[in-house]
Amino acid sequence: MKRVLSFMLALCAALGMVCLGEPAQAAGKKLIAVTYDDGPGPYTERLLDGLKKRGVKATFFMQGMNAARYEKTVARMYREGHQLANHTYNHPDLTRLSAGEIQSQVNRTNSILDKAAGKGADYLLRPPYGSYNSAVGRAVGAPMILWSIDPQDWLYRNAATVKNNVLRNAHDGAVLLLHDIHSTTVDGSLSAIDSLKAQGYEFVTVRELFRRRGRTLSAGSSYSQANPNGKDLGPVQQPEITSQPKGGQLEITITAQKGTAVYYSLDGSDLNQQSRRYTGPFTVQTPCTVKACAAYNMNGSRSDTLEKKFDRPAAPAPVLHIENGFLIIEGTTPEVAVYYSVSGAQDSNGNQLYTRPVALVPGVRVSAYGAGEGYYNSASVRIAYSPLGNVFRDVFPEAWYFDAVDKAAAEGIIQGQGDGVFAPKDSVTRGQLVTFLHRISQETGAAPAGEGNPFTDVPEGKYYTEAVAWAVENDVASGYEDYTFRPDRKVTRQEMACILYRYMTGCCGAALSAGGLESFRDRNAVADWAKEAADALSASGILQGDTEGNFRPADGCTRAEAAAVLLRVQGYAPPVI
């Protein structure tokens, strides 16, 4: 039926009866979509070479069985910006198939094309022989693309004849039917393309032809041309990739024309439907290669891919120390200088070049970065010199817990992990909690481990050994039925409530309020054995809930939270000495 339809179109053309559309509008270029059916085949690679040389994008309506044989060719088509389209799996007359058989032909081919375009891509369909009816339209689930020009390359295996037939019938908005399974078609169509480009025609994919003319393609409907209508929405423009140093990395921003989606990769890989979708600026480590394209549809309506390499290294980040009230910075080299700034109780008035140790007063924050010609700026590093004389690399004045951590560290209740690291977000363990309370109690000389804490997992010489013995001796904490204390186990908030309650009422003789649990949404989640303690400590303000009104009994406790809680305990019930 395709050949019958093609013959009728050719006859009408000969009699001057084919509507070739209105002359090209001044508002846009003459557009034409060249399409190739039935491949890929042995001549398709040569065709792709010719199209690439001419900067032409085509639409390939492929038989699934051939696409499966020429996977690399299909991948190249997609990579070079051509549109992949469906011509069924093995070219049956769809009007003679059931709906299920039609869908099998379509879906089987789509799955093969997905290997190049990525899952989620959608494909236009050309029914074999141009044969379709309403039942076919309902079953295929895609727009059906016919043609307005058939140079009968399948009949005339002659390159000159193919060329002449194309030129004789070319018109603005045309869909040109060709077959890349014939060598003469490759030669004739490329020669025709040269002539039409010289006449001012712009070659676009089928999807771009209809988009630029402002026409929407609907599933189940058929289309054969997109006559000029005064509209030309223009081609999809390449995006722009810009960068700026940020924290020892590069912050990448991609901008594209309104209405398009941007797809990108960071490892130089080719883009398809499953590539990353740009949602906003992101950071990368150098060196790296960013590829990006803008698309209304990744299969047939996308820009050329832009590739940008970022190959300069980042400057090494400086290392900051505060010793005896002086700022000392390591990391300067002949190629890389370090710039620092001081804020808080002392102000450096912006970034200053570091040349020698700098005297500081407590209550300041220092930031610094490395910079040099041929380098991206390093990550900015910070260090805090607290009002109480502590040095922190991970606790800064803007944190809600800064004052509590500063005081707890200064008083030796919670010690850091060395070199200015406090680890405020680390979870507190059972061994750590009793150690903190033991320090608050200011008691020493607890029973030896063998007498006071008969636990198989509390050996001599650990930081928590004496504290566990003290906790057991004073009924502050107890172990488990298997004679373990599990000192390295994260303590839950309800366990913390019990331990603090025993300490405050037993060791300190504190009288605590009651009724605190009633205000929490998750009060029923508190274990029975912890209800009395949680109720009293929440009523007394020692333990507080989250912003949504939950106590979170099974959650852990961070070191920053522990600092705030222990200072409340210390202020509410000071130890009796």
Do the beta carbons of residue 315 and residue 378 sit within 8 Å?
yes
Structure tokens at 191: 């020669």
Banded model confidence at residue 17, pLDDT cuts 50, 70, 90: very low
pLDDT tens digits, residue range 147-204? 999 999 999 999 999 999 999 999 999 999 999 999 999 999 999 999 999 999 999 9
Whether the per-residue pLDDT at 573 is higher than 70: the answer is no
Shared domain for 132 and 6, answered yes or no, is yes
Banded model confidence at residue 377, pLDDT cuts 50, 70, 90: confident
259 is in which domain, residue-wise? 240-310
Tell me, yes or no, whether 285 lies in a domain.
Answer: yes
Shared domain for 79 and 126, answered yes or no, is yes
Banded model confidence at residue 311, pLDDT cuts 50, 70, 90: confident
Shared domain for 162 and 51, answered yes or no, is yes
Tell me, yes or no, whether 255 lies in a domain.
Answer: yes
Question: Quick one: average pLDDT of 423-442?
Answer: 96
SS3 154: coil
Do the beta carbons of residue 238 and residue 154 sit within 8 Å?
no
Whether the per-residue pLDDT at 387 is higher than 50: the answer is yes
Shared domain for 326 and 400, answered yes or no, is yes
Question: Quick one: average pLDDT of 523-538?
Answer: 95
Question: Which of 310, 342, 357 represents a domain boundary (last residue)?
Answer: 310
Which residues are known catalytic residues?
37, 179
Give burial (CB, 10 Å; 0-12/13-18/19+) of 287.
exposed
- Residue 399: which CATH number? 2.60.40
Shared domain for 256 and 375, answered yes or no, is no
SS3 98: coil
The closest alpha carbon to 208, from 271, 88, 116, 299, belongs to 299
> What's the pLDDT at 558?
97
Do the beta carbons of residue 410 and residue 404 sit within 8 Å?
no
Do the beta carbons of residue 485 and residue 458 sit within 8 Å?
yes
Banded model confidence at residue 22, pLDDT cuts 50, 70, 90: very low
Whether the per-residue pLDDT at 239 is higher than 60: the answer is yes
Shared domain for 119 and 170, answered yes or no, is yes
Whether the per-residue pLDDT at 329 is higher than 60: the answer is yes
Tell me, yes or no, whether 12 lies in a domain.
Answer: yes
Whether the per-residue pLDDT at 19 is higher than 50: the answer is no
Banded model confidence at residue 313, pLDDT cuts 50, 70, 90: confident
Shared domain for 29 and 132, answered yes or no, is yes
Q: Which residue has the higher pLDDT, 450 or 307?
A: 307
Whether the per-residue pLDDT at 10 is higher than 80: the answer is no
> What's the pLDDT at 574?
59
> What's the pLDDT at 505?
93
Question: Which of 252, 279, 310 represents a domain boundary (last residue)?
Answer: 310
> What's the pLDDT at 14?
38
Question: Which of 408, 436, 465 represents a domain boundary (last residue)?
Answer: 408
How many independent structural domains does the chain possess?
A: 4
Shared domain for 323 and 302, answered yes or no, is no
pLDDT tens digits, residue range 58-104? 999 999 999 999 999 999 999 999 999 999 999 999 999 999 999 99
Tell me, yes or no, whether 73 lies in a domain.
Answer: yes
pLDDT tens digits, residue range 464-523? 999 999 999 999 999 999 999 999 999 999 999 999 999 999 888 888 989 999 999 999
Question: Quick one: average pLDDT of 423-436?
Answer: 97
**Mean pLDDT rounded to a whole number for the chain:** 91
Tell me, yes or no, whether 417 lies in a domain.
Answer: no
pLDDT tens digits, residue range 268-298? 899 999 999 999 999 998 889 999 999 999 9
> What's the pLDDT at 334?
87
Shared domain for 305 and 326, answered yes or no, is no
Do the beta carbons of residue 282 and residue 190 sit within 8 Å?
no
Q: What gap in Å lies between CA 491 and CA 155, rounded to an integer?
A: 83
Q: Which residue has the higher pLDDT, 314 or 552?
A: 552
Token look-up 């997109």 returns: 226
The backbone region for 481, taken as left when phi is positive above 0, alpha when psi lies in -120 to 50, beta otherwise, is alpha
Whether the per-residue pLDDT at 314 is higher than 90: the answer is no
Shared domain for 32 and 114, answered yes or no, is yes
Shared domain for 286 and 211, answered yes or no, is no
Tell me, yes or no, whether 233 lies in a domain.
Answer: no
- Residue 268: which CATH number? 2.60.40.10
Rounded percentage of the chain residues whose pLDDT exceeds 90: 84
- Residue 215: which CATH number? 3.20.20.370
Shared domain for 74 and 116, answered yes or no, is yes
